[in-house]
Homo-oligomer: A and B are copies of this chain.
Amino acid sequence: MSDPDANTMTGAQALVGTLADHGVKACFANPGTSEMHLVTALDGEPRIRSVLCLFEGVATGAADGYARVAGTPAMTLLHLGAGYLNGGANIHNAGRANSPMINVIGDHAVPHLKYDAPLTSDIVGLAGPNSRWIKSANKVEETGSLAAAAYAASFGPKPGPVSLLLPADSAWLEGGKLGERLPQPRLRQVPEARIQDAAATIADASNPVIVMNGTALTEAGLQAAARLKAAGIRILTDTFYGKMRRGAGVFAPERMQYFAEGAMDDLSGSDLMILVGTGAPVAFFAYPGKPSLLVPEGCAVLDLGDASTDSAETLKALADTMNANDAAPVAPLDLPEAPTGDLTAQSVGKSLARHMPEDALVSDDGVSNGLLSYLPTQKAQPHDWMMLTGGAIGQGMPLALGAAIAAPDRKVICLSGDGAGMYTNQALWSMAREGADVTTIVFVNHSYRILNIELYRTGAGNPGPTAQNMLSIGGPDIDWVQLSTSLGVPAVEATTAEAFDAALEEAIAAPGPRLIAAVVPG
């Protein structure tokens, strides 16, 4: 595919060949008629692994997971505006995670558009708001060069999803040309003068706190953060982040609290907040009479870069400038005893800590059970934890699929609420087909439990029967073991801590996908 005769190369071949030349290795696809030439182009491109997804939200969530692990974009293949819409929520999440991703959206042939056939829609209008970059390859000659441009644009300035529309005639016509590599945006460095100013400001503060995200959460970033911690700065991460290194031997920052009132209590007394790789913290939702901006009164804010900067470097430069040579201590491996009794999110976390192998990848869409499983794994084997960044639930299983494709030699563990899991249960089928090494844990409480909490917090009153019905996903109870099995993923249910611990040990030991329905209190 790399070097066929330019006269006979189709636009689809030029697009696919260009992306392969740039190092794209995976395509998460849900094709339709307008993408048939892309399908055959992928058929002839051994450098790209094509993964069929039965719903586009699986494809885009998987591309996000792939990018978080590989650091480079995967492509998706979406079918016109409707396909984009189906994949849109997980594209939103990927944008919030700053994950590079190349969404290739098939469109009608250019001369066909004016007839307004049934699947016609304003794709640029629909996809524009959540695309870092969007173009339509309306001529076959430009399919390769626009693919190269899309690849570069997915890296920034802020990395994220880009959209490349491919009209069917640009795909099928011959005359395609491979695109040449363009300069690829790199994460910026914070200027030395700003680092020095920051160090001076910090020296004058009584209770400085760093809030950080992005590359600050890599092993290198956390090492620098540990030095700053030893120098007297409190270190917090955002409540939600794309990926963080954690576990034994890794410096463990604190985590910003989810609920606004808790976060404000926790931050009270801070007189300087230094933002590294993130914006000022804000409440996830607004609530009557509660603050939106989570910066205490009288606390100054110092901006040391956002998702477009290399925050690991920022922290290192700051630690060097402050002569912070010692590092805060880090915890050694310390695994909990086997949990017993009732199965809870905490006991799930303990079992996770016990059985997670080194370098495991965790995809956390556990909603109200996520945090409680997170805490007990702090001293487990070193691993990477990935979170839902954009608040659109239904990301966990797709993200896990993509992570497994990016790192076939690492065990992936997916934590999903039952409500969250129902959005994109089709991911299980792709895991089965691909033999993805994912153990999925579904927290089964037959409830949108977080909303029961939120109903109270928003002051929306005591729920009557209709409201209770809207927040319960019981009646009928979903049988996750059957559901998973029907899609090709072997599954078991656990209702006690002992049974879950044994099931998890077995699932992790087995290669390939498994699911455990963890029945926890509602």
Contacts and interface: CB of A to CB of B under 8 A. Distances in A.
A251 interface: no
A350 B356 CA distance: 55
A390 B481 CA distance: 34
A119 B488 contact: no
Contacts of A117: 282-285, 292, 391
A85 B89 contact: yes
A478 to B, nearest CB: 6
A481 B82 CA distance: 28
A40 B433 CA distance: 43
A367 to B, nearest CB: 11
A315 interface: no
A345 B47 CA distance: 39
Contacts of A6: none
A172 B116 contact: no
A336 interface: no
Contacts of A140: none
A105 to B, nearest CB: 13
Interface string A269-294: 00000000001101111101000110
A323 interface: no
A267 to B, nearest CB: 16
A477 B88 CA distance: 27
Contacts of A451: 31-33, 36
Given A43-B465, A284-B117, A486 B480 contact: yes
Interface in A475-495: 475-483, 485-488
Contacts of A471: 31, 39
A182 interface: no
A358 B509 CA distance: 57
Given A40-B461, A172-B458, A451-B33, A285 B425 contact: no
Given A422-B55, A478-B486, A466 B293 contact: no
B92 A85 contact: yes
A307 to B, nearest CB: 12
A112 B283 contact: yes
A332 interface: no
Given A52-B470, A89-B82, A282 B115 contact: yes
A288 to B, nearest CB: 6
Nearest to A91: B85
A439 interface: no
Contact of A279 (B116, B126, B391, B473): B116
A218 interface: no
A130 B121 contact: yes
Kindly name the residue among A39, A96, A419, A433 whose own CB sees the greatest number of chain B CB atoms within 10 A: A39
Nearest to A122: B129
B130 A40 contact: no
B86 A92 contact: no
B391 A458 contact: no
A433 B475 contact: yes
A296 to B, nearest CB: 16
B54 A423 contact: yes
Contacts of A279: 116
A467 interface: yes
Given A476-B487, A479-B486, A39 B433 contact: no
A333 B80 CA distance: 42
A40 B460 contact: yes
A401 to B, nearest CB: 14
Contact of A391 (B82, B88, B425): B82
Contact of A429 (B39, B476, B486): B476
A176 interface: no
A292 B483 contact: no
18 contacts: A33-B450, A39-B467, A40-B455, A43-B466, A82-B93, A83-B89, A85-B88, A86-B89, A86-B394, A96-B118, A116-B282, A118-B390, A119-B390, A121-B130, A425-B425, A433-B475, A479-B485, A483-B483
Report, nearest first, the 6 A-B pairs whose CB atoms are least far apart: A476-B488, A85-B88, A82-B392, A482-B486, A112-B286, A109-B286
Given A85-B86, A116-B282, 9 more contacts: A32-B451, A33-B285, A40-B464, A40-B467, A50-B470, A54-B423, A85-B91, A86-B88, A429-B476
